[in-house]
Every structure is written in C-alpha cells, then in structure tokens.
Amino acid sequence: MKTFFSFLFSLGVLFADIPTVAIITTGGTIAEKTDPKTGASIPASSGADMIESIPELKTLANYKIVDFSNIDSSQMTPQMWAHLSQVIDDTLNKPGIIGAVITHGTDTMAEASFFLELTIKTDKPVVLVGAMKNSSDPYSDGPPNLVNGVIQVCSSKDYNWGVTVTMNQYINSARNVVKTQTTNVQTFESGEKGYLGYIYNKKVYQFNNRLKKLKLPIPNELPRVDIVYDYAGSTGDFIRHAIDKKVDGIVVESVGAGNVNKDMYEAILEAIDHNIAVVITTRVPHGNVFPAYGDEGGGSSLQKAGAVVIGDLPSAKARLLLMLALPLVKNNEELYQYFRKI
Ligand code: ASP
C-alpha cells in the first residue's frame, strides 16, 4: 500500500478529499543528518525527502513543496526573510492551497516568525516548525513537529493566529515566542503572555488569541540597524562605532526597566544628534521598559533625549520592527507609535 501511495504521490496525483498545504523548506536541524565522518549535523534533506520519510503526512494533505533554501538558520538574514515573505504570499495566493508550513532552523526562528508576521499579506495560516534533534536521531522531534504543523494548518479555519511557531505541541505567537533552551525539545516559550494553544492527538486546543496585528510593507532596501548590549561598566564605544558606520538605527539592550550607564547615555545622545533612531530594550527576560528613572542614562532621561522607550520586544525583534518602520516615519513620535502598537 505504501509503495502504491508513494508512487501516486511522486506522480503528483492529488487526492481530492484532503486539502493542499504548502511546505516551504529553508533548512535547519529538521533538514539535517549527522555526518558519520565528523559527527557534526549537516544539511541533508529536501522537502520531498522529508514528506517521503513521514508516511502520516500523506494521510493529512496533499503538498505543494517549495525548497527555498537549505541552510543553518544562523546564516539567515532579514533580506532572506523579505524574500521568503514574498515566496509565502505568492505560494498562498494560488487557489486551493489552504496554508503553509515553513521548516526553519530554530536558532533564529523566533525572529523569522516575527518578520514574516509583520510582512506577509495573506490571511492564510503560516506555521513555522523545526527540530532540536536531527533526522539521524531515532527520537528526532522533526517528524511530530511537521505533522503537527500540517494538522494546525488544516484546522485553522477556526483560528486567525497569523504566523506561529509550533514546536513540541505548543503553539506560540510570532510576537511572543522566544527560544529558551539550547538543546532541549521544549525550547520555544511565550513567557508570561502564554501560548496560543496546544496540539494533542491531532486536535488543536486554543488557550489564547493573537492580540496584536501589525502589517508593514517591505522597503526596497532595509535600513541598517545594529544592536548594542549594556552591562555594568560598559562604554559607549560600540555606539560610537555604529555612528561611524552610519547606521540608520541602534537598538540598545539596556539593564532593568530601560536604563544605561552615563557613558552609554552620552553616546546615545551623540547618535540621536546624528539623526540615528535609538530604541531601548531590556536584557531582562520579562516585563516592559519604562521611562521611570531620571538620572543620566535612566529611562526617563533617554526618552527626553529622543530615544524610544516602550514595550517588551526582545532586541532582535525590536531591530526587525525598527528596520521595517524606519522608512515609514518622519520623526521619533511616529516611530514611537509603531512600538506602541505591537
Ligand atoms: N543550528 C540549527 C539552526 O538554527 C538549530 C536548529 O535548527 O535546531 O539552523
């Protein structure tokens, strides 16, 4: 039976009573195997290979496979996600395709999902999945994650969750998802905001709804935005270096509720003088930044100086929002509004 089924599938025979889902592959551990010579994980599988190796997938849907790339997600760039966003829209514009599962490396999956959430135009569901254990591992989490991604797409007429990261049965919004563990299959979490839902036994259970929906156009050229990390005793040198590099924006990952030391503060003033947008985030995993403290470098002084001090986006996501919002704004107040909306 399996052979006959695979034969029909390889001929592109579509089964009318099951939906068609796009599988767009980009790489990551889910597409890797262990190289027996080195013991290292290396890119190995195409979309067709993955579907072929997971018989259950064929009972759930027909597939439109798009092999976008096969790279480790540490090599991904916002420019590549801009292209991926267009490929997703083009693919989902085709009638009959009900949604897409995107396979992606987990290292930058949270950022990828956020960029896609902000930029894709389609209303159809887009589910990012990956794996923490590659397909040489007998307990790889890739196959169940891929199956659950397809199950979510097939049942998501009941939900409008936009782009999600769905791993280890948990459904995370692109807005809130963070990678929290380097090697464990339970790595993606949504912190105090909570998961959107859970998948068990082929059924999707909803816990929450997507709260914020913000859509932004992709500019022809994405501005350059750097991230600078603050710590006790840090200097403003990296900010001054960014000014020399003529960046368009800087995200400063501050301490606490949005505070930096005096030298960082002075460097931020220089950046603002050079017309560089500065957004303050925090290295604390949960909670917002606030313009609370008035000393030189406190959140209140940073806001008075013209930095954007609002929200709880992690730095990497704040950077992506800044890259997309900067071409749309004329001043700091308009920029602030984008960070307020998300
Ligand atoms: N190195 C991998 C990546 O991000 C990790 C993974 O996929 O789990 O591409």
* Domain assignments of the chain as residue spans, ordered by start: 10-206, 225-341
pLDDT of the residue at 159:
80
- Statement: residue 8 has pLDDT above 60: no
Nearest to 130 by CA among 106, 147, 110, 149: 106
What's the rounded Cα separation, in Å, for the pair 161 and 172? 9
* Dihedral (Cα; 101, 115, 313, 168), 10-degree rounding: 10
DSSP 270-281: HHHHTT-EEEEE
- Is the domain covering 225-341 a CATH 3.40.50.40 domain? yes
Looking from the CA of residue 71, the nearest atom of ligand 1 is 9
Residue 19 has pLDDT above 80, yes or no: yes
Lookup: tokens for 226? 């750097």
Best residue for ligand 1 mutational test, from 25, 26, 29 (most atoms within 8 Å of Cβ): 29
- Distance (angstroms) between ligand 1 centre and the Cα of 305 equals 39
Which is catalytic among the residues 3, 20, 25, 29?
29
Are 310 and 336 in contact, with CB atoms under 8 Å apart? yes
pLDDT exceeds cutoff 80 at 244: yes
Q: What is the pLDDT of residues 265-318, one digit of tens each?
A: 999 999 999 999 999 999 999 999 999 999 999 999 999 999 999 999 999 999
Dist. CA 151–CA 15, nearest whole Å: 17
pLDDT digits (tens, 9 = 90+) for 100-142: 999 999 999 999 999 999 999 999 999 999 999 999 999 999 9
The predicted structure's pLDDT at residue 211: 76
Residue bearing the CA closest to ligand 1, atom 1 = 72
Model confidence at 4: pLDDT above 50: no
Phi, psi dihedral angles at 217 (to 5 degrees): -75, 155
DSSP-derived 3-state class of residue 112: helix
Interval between CA 29 and ligand 1 midpoint (Å)? 5
CA–CA dist 172, 188 (Å, integer): 8
Cβ-Cβ contacts under 8 Å for 68 (sequence gap 6 or more)? 24, 25, 26, 84, 87
Q: Which of 26, 69, 72 to mutate to test the pocket of ligand 1 (most atoms within 8 A of CB)?
A: 72
Q: How far is the CA of 11 from the centre of ligand 1 (A)?
A: 32
CA distances from 210 to 173, 182, 275, 337 (A): 7, 26, 34, 19
CA of 187 to the centre of ligand 1 (A): 12
Amino acid symbol at 326 = L
| Greater pLDDT, 304 or 213 | 304
Chain-centroid distance, C-alpha 323: 14
Known catalytic membership, residue 235: no
Decide whether 10-206 matches 225-341 in CATH topology.
yes
Q: Which atom of ligand 1 is nearest to the CA of 73?
A: 9
What distances in angstroms separate CA 126 from CA 117, 302, 326, one per listed residue? 9, 37, 26
**Residue 14: per-residue pLDDT:** 58
Residues with CB under 6 A from ligand 1: 28-29, 72-74, 105-107, 130-132
CATH 3.90.1150.10 fits 10-206, yes or no: no
CB atoms within 10 A of CB 192: 10
Mean pLDDT of the chain, nearest integer: 94
Shortest-distance atom of ligand 1 to CA 107: 4
Q: What percent of the chain has pLDDT over 90?
A: 92
Is the pTM of the predicted complex or chain greater than 0.85? Answer: yes
Instruction: Using pLDDT thresholds of 50, 70 and 90, give the confidence band for residue 160.
Output: confident
Radius of gyration from C-alpha coordinates of the chain: 21
Atom from ligand 1 closest to the CA of residue 130: 7
